[in-house]
Amino acid sequence: MDFKINISFLKKKKWFIAKYIIVICLLFYIIFTHESVSLNDIFLTLVNFQSGAALLLLILLFNLCVVCFRFWLFLKYYKCNISIIDAFKGCITGNLAGLVFIPVMGQVLGRQIALKKFNIPPIMQVSIAVYEKLVISIISISAAFISAVYIFGYTFAAEILNKFKLFEIPFSITIALIISLFFWSNQKIFFFWLKSQFDWKNFLKIFQLVIVSIFGYLITILSFLFLIKVLDQNINIFEALAASAIISFFSSIPITPNGWGIRELASITVLAKLGLDPSEALTISILYGALSMLTILIAAFLISKIKNTDKLDINYSIYFNNHNISTNINIIIFLGISISTFILYQFHIDFRDIKLAINFADPLALIALLVMCGNFILLRQKIVWEIKEFNYFLLIFSALLLIAFVNGWFNVGITSWSLMGRLIGWIVLMGYLSAGYLLVFYGGEFWRDKLIQTLAFLAIFIILFQFSARLLIGIGFNIDLNIAESFQGYSGNRNAFAFQLLVIISLIFGLGSSRKVFYSLDIDKYKIAFVLGVLILGVILTGSRAGHITVITLLLFVLVWKSHWQRIIIYSIIVALLFWLFQISLISIANNFLEINSPYIQSNITGVSSDYMRIDLIILALKMWWESPIFGIGLGTFFARSSEYLGSAYVIHSTPLWLLTEFGLFGVLIIILSLKNFIIGILSNIFSTAASKNIAIKSLIISFSVFGLFHEIFYQRIFWFGLGLLIAKTNQHKSLY
């Protein structure tokens, strides 16, 4: 059977062109906003670089072969013994698709298309991509950090570590995960699962894959080194090698196709330390990007000419269904634990006038979305929720979002807030929803409960760690930590952190599907009371008034509800008050007796000026809505026009008001109608005794509804992840609503 590279996805020219228009605009932005960049110098250098380009092309082709060989090893690791030629074809097709789509998603999609005849489950393709990226990321980050210390000096590297908490965050994650293992119920089951993942056979296979990955990474570094030395032979080879490692790391970040834009920015910044002017740095980056794309195209053409005479004698779909179900579960468990670990940690990077919010869980969420879409499209696996017709809501809201985006485009043009923050952001949120769904679908309620407990212990460790650090600083200890002014965890905003904690509190109410199951979990009720108490303390310490109002509403709701949580809630409130009184007393002693002018740990509660600003935002939002009450003013219009009235750009600090203003009455009405079954179920059962899961769903909706009145929280990642965990339906359960 002849194999032909399937490039049908390239026929979607609009998507292909749109992706590269964005990249080209970014390149021109870099060129024309940097005073030292000369287009003439770039052109002359490109023309003169001939023999070197041919040699570099051969190096990149060899590197692509190494990557394909690694993919074949991964397939063997999963006991998928296809020929190496087929593995090469699948890998090259994946790289080809990565030039068009978001890199990781395109890579998985291309491989799935090329290896369709083997019926390899989408989840396995995704897991291979995840493990590949994980191994490469560890190698690349380590090399880039060492190189940054070598080029920029230890002081600069220490500032970066302190600013982005690159020691503090891994430390807190590690300790929190270890503690959570011992607090988990049925931890023997988890240790058994953990042990099964790290036997000697797996370790040797992983070691083999790591060696191949390091070899491929060194070839990539040498490619950059080759370009730098060709353009300037006087540069110190070790400095050039270090610069190559840093540039390679940034170009591997899966944001733009083939690293375009990100690689150019990194090249200009890093190579300036080596004495290269921006034109030369940009030339190196463009050459590498163009030749790497040409390498993939040449490889795709060559591999498509190879005839495959192998006959299929294995039905892989039957093989995987019968013998590899545990592998699917392991992959999803790993994905779920990784997302729940990173979702609470967010980085904020300012680049000129652009503010970037980076969460390491986002790529994992997109991978989960890809798995669920693959299961639905290729395996015809239905997506079923506890909320009837929830899929219709997702489709309807997606359509409304697109209509609002187009409406805003006509009104104020395309803004980064509407395109990246809302339109692309919605895809990311669907990834978090998918991750929650997949964990329950494959792992069941047992692993859902384990994940909730892990998430809770990560949150309480963050609270206690920052509580202790602030307390020690407050009583006079000199601690070299980059502590934010407000109590905000690692979310970058105290209101966002308060809402994260409220979602986790709601999820805890879902432990065990009933009173009987809850008490069979062998959970120490005092431990759970302690966990809830610390979470409530965290909400208090944020100083978020919306958080305070919401947590009071939430606790009153659970107390009124006749459930097995009432006594635990009372104990948790006592725990929170004891911690709060302790910090107040200790800081007061430091201020009055030790003559230390120490601020309190709790963030200051905003005053009247904040209320006036909020009132101005509400009035302005209603004024803009009145301009187009039926269909709204369009996505991003308020953010774009608010600076005309208020002096700087603002978002609407209320989720219902945001929906009304930018989607209009028509959009809000459609959203309500699409959720009518769920709304009726909530209202009709609001005070009835039901399962813990039922309580958790209602608690989550209460947290969202009350907090959303004061802040725009529709795009909070943890809400959609938690919602997926709670409303995902397995085959043996009936709908709650």
DSSP 349: E
176-198 average pLDDT score: 61
Q: How far apart are CA 666 and CA 485, in angstroms?
A: 42
Domain's final residue, options 254, 289, 308? 308
Domain's final residue, options 249, 280, 308? 308
Considering the domain architecture, whether residues 99 and 222 belong to the same structural domain is answered as yes
Give the sign of the dihedral formed by CA 459, CA 506, CA 190, CA 731: negative
Considering the domain architecture, whether residues 303 and 383 belong to the same structural domain is answered as no
Is residue 374 very low, low, confident or very high in pLDDT (cuts 50, 70, 90)?
confident
Number of domain units in the chain: 2
Residue 60, CA distances (Å) to 51, 70, 72, 81 in order: 15, 15, 19, 27
Q: Is residue 50 part of a domain?
A: yes
- Judged against a pLDDT cut of 70, whether residue 517 lies above it is answered with no
Q: pLDDT per residue over 480-512, tens digit each?
A: 666 777 888 888 888 999 999 999 999 998 876
Domain's final residue, options 282, 308, 334? 308
Residues in the chain: 737
Q: Which range, of 87-91, 460-464, 636-640, 677-681, averages the lowest pLDDT?
A: 677-681
637-643 average pLDDT score: 89
Q: Which range, of 224-228, 347-351, 616-620, 634-638, averages the lowest pLDDT?
A: 347-351
8 Å CB contact between 380 and 372: no
Residue 621's SS3 state is helix
- Looking at residue 643, its pLDDT comes to 85
Considering the domain architecture, whether residues 299 and 364 belong to the same structural domain is answered as no
Q: Is residue 331 part of a domain?
A: no
Q: How far apart are CA 299 and CA 64, in angstroms?
A: 8
The tokens describing 457, both together, are 């212990």
Q: pLDDT per residue over 14-63, tens digit each?
A: 444 444 444 445 444 444 444 454 444 444 454 455 556 777 788 888 88
Is residue 689 very low, low, confident or very high in pLDDT (cuts 50, 70, 90)?
very low
Q: Is residue 486 part of a domain?
A: yes
Angle (CA) 653 657 659, round 5°: 110
Q: pLDDT per residue over 146-166, tens digit each?
A: 888 888 877 776 776 666 666
Q: How far apart are CA 86 and CA 74, in angstroms?
A: 13
Q: pLDDT per residue over 103-135, tens digit each?
A: 677 788 788 888 877 777 777 787 788 778 878
The tokens describing 81, both together, are 């013994």
Considering the domain architecture, whether residues 376 and 302 belong to the same structural domain is answered as no
- Looking at residue 606, its pLDDT comes to 72
Q: How far apart are CA 205 and CA 606, in angstroms?
A: 56
The tokens describing 34, both together, are 């940097």
Burial class (CB in 10 A: 0-12, 13-18, 19+), 654: buried
Is residue 322 very low, low, confident or very high in pLDDT (cuts 50, 70, 90)?
very low
- Looking at residue 504, its pLDDT comes to 95
- Looking at residue 337, its pLDDT comes to 83
Q: How far apart are CA 241 and CA 253, in angstroms?
A: 19
Region of 626 (left: φ > 0; alpha: ψ -120 to 50; beta: rest) is alpha
Most confident of 244-253, 567-576, 589-598, 671-680: 567-576
Closest CA relative to residue 137, chosen from 217, 247, 221: 217
Considering the domain architecture, whether residues 410 and 475 belong to the same structural domain is answered as yes
Q: How far apart are CA 105 and CA 254, in angstroms?
A: 10
- Looking at residue 154, its pLDDT comes to 76
Region of 356 (left: φ > 0; alpha: ψ -120 to 50; beta: rest) is beta
Q: Is residue 169 part of a domain?
A: no
φ, ψ at 349 (rounded to 5°): -120, 130
8 Å CB contact between 229 and 237: yes
- Looking at residue 580, its pLDDT comes to 87
Among residues of the chain, what percentage have pLDDT more than 70? 75
Q: How far apart are CA 85 and CA 566, in angstroms?
A: 62
Q: Is residue 168 part of a domain?
A: no
- Looking at residue 350, its pLDDT comes to 55
Residue 578, CA distances (Å) to 154, 494, 505, 591 in order: 43, 22, 19, 20
223-234 average pLDDT score: 78
- Looking at residue 109, its pLDDT comes to 79
Considering the domain architecture, whether residues 518 and 416 belong to the same structural domain is answered as yes
Considering the domain architecture, whether residues 474 and 537 belong to the same structural domain is answered as yes
Q: How far apart are CA 188 and CA 208, in angstroms?
A: 30
Is residue 687 very low, low, confident or very high in pLDDT (cuts 50, 70, 90)?
very low
Q: Is residue 304 part of a domain?
A: yes
Q: Which residues of 661-683 are buried (b: 16+ CB within 10 A; e: fewer)?
A: bbbbeebbebeeebbebbeebbe
Considering the domain architecture, whether residues 73 and 14 belong to the same structural domain is answered as yes
- Looking at residue 514, its pLDDT comes to 44
Q: pLDDT per residue over 583-604, tens digit each?
A: 888 777 766 666 555 555 777 7
- Looking at residue 265, its pLDDT comes to 81
Most confident of 2-16, 251-265, 559-573: 559-573
8 Å CB contact between 550 and 535: no
Residue 355, H or E segment: strand 354-358
- Looking at residue 191, its pLDDT comes to 58
φ, ψ at 356 (rounded to 5°): -110, 130
Considering the domain architecture, whether residues 295 and 414 belong to the same structural domain is answered as no
- Looking at residue 320, its pLDDT comes to 41
8 Å CB contact between 457 and 180: yes
Closest CA relative to residue 685, chosen from 674, 671, 701, 672: 701
How many other β-carbons are positioned within 10 Å of the β-carbon of residue 91? 29
199-210 average pLDDT score: 72
Look up residue 164 and give its amino acid. Answer: F
Say which residue, 588 or 659, is predicted with more confidence: 659
Say which residue, 193 or 651, is predicted with more confidence: 651
Look up residue 557 and give its amino acid. Answer: F
- Looking at residue 188, its pLDDT comes to 55
What mean pLDDT value characterizes the chain?
Answer: 77
Q: In terms of residue numbers, what domain contains 110? A: 8-153+204-308
Considering the domain architecture, whether residues 75 and 15 belong to the same structural domain is answered as yes
Region of 413 (left: φ > 0; alpha: ψ -120 to 50; beta: rest) is left
- Looking at residue 351, its pLDDT comes to 45
Q: Is residue 337 part of a domain?
A: no
- Looking at residue 600, its pLDDT comes to 59
Residue 335, H or E segment: helix 325-342
- Looking at residue 25, its pLDDT comes to 52
Region of 477 (left: φ > 0; alpha: ψ -120 to 50; beta: rest) is beta
Is residue 523 very low, low, confident or very high in pLDDT (cuts 50, 70, 90)?
low
Q: Is residue 184 part of a domain?
A: no
Considering the domain architecture, whether residues 17 and 101 belong to the same structural domain is answered as yes
67-72 average pLDDT score: 89
The tokens describing 83, both together, are 């020929």
- Looking at residue 210, its pLDDT comes to 85
Q: Which range, of 46-55, 238-247, 545-554, averages the lowest pLDDT?
A: 46-55
Considering the domain architecture, whether residues 387 and 238 belong to the same structural domain is answered as no
Is residue 706 very low, low, confident or very high in pLDDT (cuts 50, 70, 90)?
very high
Residue 356, H or E segment: strand 354-358
Q: pLDDT per residue over 422-458, tens digit each?
A: 888 899 999 999 999 998 888 888 888 888 888 888 8
Q: How far apart are CA 606 and CA 265, in angstroms?
A: 39
Most confident of 64-68, 403-407, 506-510, 646-650: 403-407
Is residue 231 very low, low, confident or very high in pLDDT (cuts 50, 70, 90)?
confident
